[in-house]
Structure 1
Amino acid sequence: MAGMGSYLKKHTEALVKEVGIEPACEVTGKSKATLGRYYSDNPEHADRFMPIDAVAQLEEAAGYPHVTVALAELRGVALNFEDRRANSERSGNVNSDVIALSQRFALLMAEYQQSIEDGQISVNEAKRLLKETTLLQQVLVDMKLNLEDESG
């Protein structure tokens, strides 16, 4: 359970930081301190999580549903979210998807190679790897949607 809480807090932090702390306060009506407690890894805040309505408000303001995806992943569910389409254009071409996939994978592997040079992955390195993994996942979603379009 502790691992799950930590996982959700990391994604909550990513969501707040994508929106920005000041705009997140405005969107949710919560203070900076309250928002900070929702993703704090201090033991005293271990059982504090962002209310679902605040998650929904922030995910609407963000370009990516960080907490929703994290919850789905914890349950072994893969999400197909198309709201992201407003923020990025799909190529509509599987060939360009394959190129983008190859480029993203190469970036992920380069980041991984750099991260393990000293034999251990730091917190910052893990965050960069997570970002690259998420971007790779988005390319795969685009590719899946384009393949579905082409298959009729």
Structure 2
Amino acid sequence: MSVEGYLKKHAEALVKDVGIEAACALTGKSKATLGRYYSDQDEHGDRFMPVDVVAQLEAAARFPHVTAALADLRGITLSYSPEKRNATSGGVNHDVVTLAQRFAQLMAEYNIAIEDGKISPNEAKRLLRETLSLQEVLLTMKLNLEQGMS
């Protein structure tokens, strides 16, 4: 997938996360305009969501889809978890157990997805969700290990 296509897919995920009606209300943009930002049709290939629109939508979204995509393109790993802002950590031992559980869940989802020999878009979304969950656990573990070194 091209960089452009990758960004458009994440822009679409952002709009769908917020909801099209709510996205229109938040940004003052029409459904058609928002749709053009993530359309893969040739005539909209050079249209991308403006940064201010991304910021407005990500403030209302459950996840910063476009920001995460941009970071991913640069090889940067972000740590994002609104539920854990002031949560206490269970430590490295807890992280290892959680890591094993998340990995097992990822493998279970993969096993189900590959049964018919191909991974459907919905199956890919579930696998991506599990991969992101696994990444969050690894980041928490990394932070706990770094904290233990200081």
What CA distance in whole angstroms lies between the structure 2 residues aligned with 1:114 and 1:135? Answer: 18
Q: How many residue pairs end up in the alignment? A: 148
Shift of 1:110: 1.0
Q: Alignment partner for residue 92 of structure 2, among 94, 102, 127?
A: 94
Aligned pairs for 1:124-139 within 5 A:
124-139=122-137
Separation in 2 of the partners of 1:71 and 1:99? 31
Tell me by how many angstroms 1:148 deviates: 2.2
Partner of 2:16: 17
The 2-side partners of 1:120 and 1:90 are apart by 40
Unpaired stretches in structure 1, ≥5 consecutive residues? none
TM-superposed CA distance for 1:55, in Å, is 0.9
Give CA-to-partner distance per residue, 1:74-121, whole Å, 9 cap, x none: 122223x35x3x323453422222122111111111111111112111
Q: Deviations over 1:3-57 (max 9, x none)?
A: 1111111111222222222222222221222212212223332222110111122
CA contact (8 A) 1:63 1:87 kept: no
Q: Is the 8 A contact 1:90 1:142 kept in 2?
A: no
1:120 equivalenced with 2:107 (yes/no): no
Tell me the TM-score normalised to structure 2 length. Answer: 0.86
CA RMSD of aligned residues (A): 1.9
Q: Distance in 1 between matches of 2:147 and 2:134?
A: 20
Q: What TM-score does the superposition give when structure 1 sets the normalisation length?
A: 0.85
- SS of 2:2 mapped into structure 1: helix
Give distance in 2, aligned partners of 1:87 and 1:19.
18
In structure 2, how many angstroms separate the alpha carbons of the residues matched to 1:139 and 1:75? 21
Q: Identity rate of aligned residues, in percent?
A: 66
